[in-house]
């Protein structure tokens, strides 16, 4: 029996006709006799795919949110009828957030569900800024500090939040990763990886005491990255991981590059796939 099972519920790529694709991410995680949803996708795709994959959403012990963008939080409203128990997240995920696209269009990418709505539905909100062990071996990272060179991964003038003093550029300090301890080593689960792989690795090393990890799965935010940055990512992934499963916002260009450079460490995964460790 595996230590860890991760079912890809929402992702951009799929190869099954009975599932839906979506620019978003949601992973169904079974670990330590507990069931968690890591992110919720952008909306009702979560419900369709969970039903067709025979995943029992009312059995969830909690929902873990990587950060406040809509393609990771939009499915929250779909979960409310299932008497959602707990949400684990950074307190800033409910800020009003915006993203500027390649056409210079500023769009609202905020979480569509308010804290009041969640509280009115008796959902317990478990906020953290420092690392937090949800259950033994399952650690939410807390804030990921930018380290030397890690700021290169965050494009300038792309992400903003709205405060009482107006619109401000931000580097998504609310993004967290999930670290899971298995017999094969630590697994890192990434929502988008906005803070960059250097910063993520530095944080993960500090929390686990390890320099190498078994697997990383999730978004790595390389959709618009240049070739040099993708090569740098490939080198770091090769040095620190035994298995690399890029999803969501990693982008086709980076996925193709990883497939050709990482060899057997790379695994192509689709919506509906189950990853066992």
Domain residue spans in the chain?
Answer: 4-276
Classified as helix, coil or strand, 216 is strand
pTM of the model: 0.96
CATH number of 4-276: 3.60.15.10
Mean pLDDT across the chain: 94
Over the stretch 231-260, which tens digit does the pLDDT of each residue have? 999 999 999 999 999 999 999 999 999 999
Please choose, from the candidates 115, 95, 99, the residue with its C-alpha nearest in 3D space to the C-alpha of residue 107. 99
pLDDT of residue 234: 95
Query: Is residue 81 a contact partner of residue 58, using CB atoms and an 8 Å limit?
Result: no
pLDDT higher than threshold 70 for residue 208? yes
Please choose, from the candidates 205, 266, 208, the residue with its C-alpha nearest in 3D space to the C-alpha of residue 233. 266
pLDDT higher than threshold 60 for residue 128? yes
Q: How far apart are the first and last CA of the chain?
A: 9
For 241-244, the CB contacts below 8 A with 24+ separation are: 241/188, 241/212, 241/213, 241/214, 241/215, 241/216, 241/265, 242/184, 242/185, 242/212, 242/213, 242/214, 242/215, 243/214, 243/215, 243/216, 243/267, 244/215, 244/216
pLDDT higher than threshold 60 for residue 10? yes
């Amino acid at each position: 029996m595996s230590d860890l099972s991760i079912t890809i519920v929402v992702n951009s790529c799929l190869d099954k006709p009975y599932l839906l694709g979506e620019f978003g991410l949601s992973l169904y995680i079974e670990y330590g006799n507990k069931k968690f949803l890591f992110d919720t996708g952008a909306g009702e795709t979560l419900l369709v795919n969970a039903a067709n994959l025979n995943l029992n959403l009312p059995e969830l012990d909690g929902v873990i949110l990587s950060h406040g963008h809509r393609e990771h939080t939009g499915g929250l409203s779909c979960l409310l009828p299932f008497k959602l128990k707990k949400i684990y997240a950074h307190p800033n995920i409910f800020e009003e957030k915006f993203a500027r696209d390649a056409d210079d269009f500023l769009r609202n990418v905020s979480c569509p569900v308010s804290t009041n709505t969640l509280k009115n539905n008796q959902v317990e909100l478990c906020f953290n800024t420092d690392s937090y062990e949800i259950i033994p071996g399952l650690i939410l990272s807390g804030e990921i500090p930018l380290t030397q060179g890690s700021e290169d991964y965050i494009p300038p003038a792309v992400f903003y939040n709205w405060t009482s003093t107006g619109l401000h550029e931000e580097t998504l300090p609310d993004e967290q990763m999930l670290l899971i301890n298995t017999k094969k080593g630590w697994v890192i689960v990434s929502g988008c990886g906005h803070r960059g792989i250097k910063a993520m690795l530095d944080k993960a090393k500090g929390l686990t005491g390890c320099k190498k990890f078994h697997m990383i799965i999730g978004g790595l935010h390389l959709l618009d990255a240049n070739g040099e940055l993708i090569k740098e990512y490939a080198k770091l992934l090769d040095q620190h991981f035994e298995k690399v499963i890029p999803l969501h916002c990693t982008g086709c260009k980076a996925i193709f590059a990883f497939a050709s450079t990482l060899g057997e460490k790379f695994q192509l995964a689709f919506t509906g796939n189950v990853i066992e460790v």
